[in-house]
Chains A and B, each alone.
Chain A
Amino acid sequence: DTAVSQTPKYLVTQMGNDKSIKCEQNLGHDTMYWYKQDSKKFLKIMFSYNNKELIINETVPNRFSPKSPDKAHLNLHINSLELGDSAVYFCASSHGGGVLNEKLFFGSGTQLSVL
Chain B
Amino acid sequence: GQQVMQIPQYQHVQEGEDFTTYCNSSTTLSNIQWYKQRPGGHPVFLIQLVKSGEVKKQKRLTFQFGEAKKNSSLHITATQTTDVGTYFCAPSRGGSARQLTFGSGTQLTVLP
Contact = CB atoms under 8 A, between A and B. Distances in A.
B88 to A, nearest CB: 7
Contacts of B48: 101, 103
A79 B60 CA distance: 46
Interface size class of A (residues with CB under 8 A): 20 to 34
Contacts, number: 64
Interface in B92-107: 95-98, 100-102, 104-105, 107
Interface stretch (A20-28, A39-47, A68-76): A39-47
B50 interface: yes
A101 B31 contact: yes
Contacts of B107: 41
Interface in A90-115: 90, 94-96, 98-109
B3 to A, nearest CB: 14
A103 B35 CA distance: 10
A90 B88 CA distance: 15
A104 B105 contact: no
A105 B45 contact: yes
B71 interface: no
Q: In this complex, which of B50, B90, B96, B105 has the most chain A Cβ atoms within 10 angstroms of its Cβ?
A: B96
B42 A43 contact: no
Interface in A8-45: 31, 33, 40-45
A83 interface: no
Nearest to A43: B102
A108 B41 contact: yes
Contacts of A90: 42-43
A45 to B, nearest CB: 8
B95 A104 contact: no
Given A31-B97, A43-B88, A94-B97, A104 B43 contact: yes
Contacts of A99: 95
Given A43-B88, A101-B31, A101-B50, A106 B102 contact: no
- The 4 A-B pairs with the shortest beta carbon distances in the complex, nearest first, are A100-B95, A94-B97, A106-B42, A43-B102
